[in-house]
Amino acid sequence: MTIRRIFHIGLALSLLLALSAGTAFADRGRTVIHKQPAKVVKKGYVLDKRHHHNRYYPPSGYVTRSLPRGHMVVPHYKKRYYFHDGIWYRPSGVSFSVVLPPIGLTVHALPRYYSTIWVGSIPYYYAAGTYYNWWPERRTYVVVEPPPEQSVVEESEVPEQLFIYPKEGQSEELQATDRYECHSWAVGQTGFDPTLPGGNVSADENASKRADYNRATKACLEARGYSVR
């Protein structure tokens, strides 16, 4: 290799290093925003705005060839219903149709996303056209008739979902542990528990306590190296 060629290679490497250093210097002090991917709405799904729910679901009669992974089987009077993320299914030939569940059907857990409304001192839970009440004797939720419109008191619309980004490359296992421990800490600080009926607080306190819980959760996760929005 000639001296001239070695000189040109060295010059090119020097220029590349200088450009890299300049880019790194320009990025110092600048906030890098990691944008959340745009939500993809499946074809045929419709927006449910009732009681500030604001989520997309397939309408009754929607047909799918297969059930989503993680669905639950819920028997009711010798019939089998399938439940996933607030949506109920029944067999329809070789496919499955979206249906409204019958009154009296019980399920052990509410879907991940639901809206709470109040009729007097009784909380109702709403998702995808279906209303639920808590049945304390059996420690389960039961599908009930929609309450009279004039008697419903809706909760204030408060964001319930926090977008959490692991800034320090935390593993999925560590993220799950941190989220659970921060949830427990926030419950202890505020008295509001979103996993219990009505958040385990009175209707008058529900909106403010929910906001307090979200702030406490956010502070806890940020202290553990997460970006929370």
Mean confidence (pLDDT) of the chain: 79
Region of residue 61 (left: phi > 0; alpha: psi -120 to 50; beta: else): left
In a domain, 73, yes or no: yes
Structure confidence by residue, pLDDT tens digits, 160-188:
566 788 889 888 678 878 888 998 899 99
Residues 183 and 133 in one domain: no
- SS3 label, residue 143: strand
Q: Is pLDDT above 90 for 102?
A: yes
In a domain, 188, yes or no: yes
Residues 77 and 150 in one domain: yes
Residues 173 and 120 in one domain: no
Q: Is pLDDT above 70 for 139?
A: yes
Residues 177 and 139 in one domain: no
CB under 8 Å to 215, separation ≥6 — which residues?
none
Residues 109 and 200 in one domain: no
Residues 54 and 148 in one domain: yes
Q: Is pLDDT above 60 for 158?
A: no
pLDDT band of 58, cuts 50, 70, 90: very high
Which domain, by its residues, includes 172? 164-228
Q: pLDDT at position 116, please?
A: 83
Q: pLDDT at position 51, please?
A: 87
Choose the final residue of a domain: 121, 154, 187: 154
In a domain, 25, yes or no: no
In a domain, 186, yes or no: yes
Choose the final residue of a domain: 107, 134, 154: 154
Number of domains into which the chain is organized = 2
Q: Is pLDDT above 50 for 27?
A: no
Residues 105 and 142 in one domain: yes
**Alpha carbon distance 85, 89 (integer Å):** 11
Residues 97 and 147 in one domain: yes
Residues 149 and 168 in one domain: no
In a domain, 20, yes or no: no
Measured in whole angstroms, the distance separating CA 151 from the mean position of its chain's CA atoms is: 28
Residues 118 and 56 in one domain: yes
Instruction: Identify the helix (H) or strand (E) that includes residue 9.
Output: helix 3-27
Comparing 59 with 137, the larger pLDDT belongs to 59
Number of H helices, E strands in the chain: 3, 15
**pTM more than 0.75:** no
The rounded percent of the chain whose pLDDT value lies above 90 is: 36
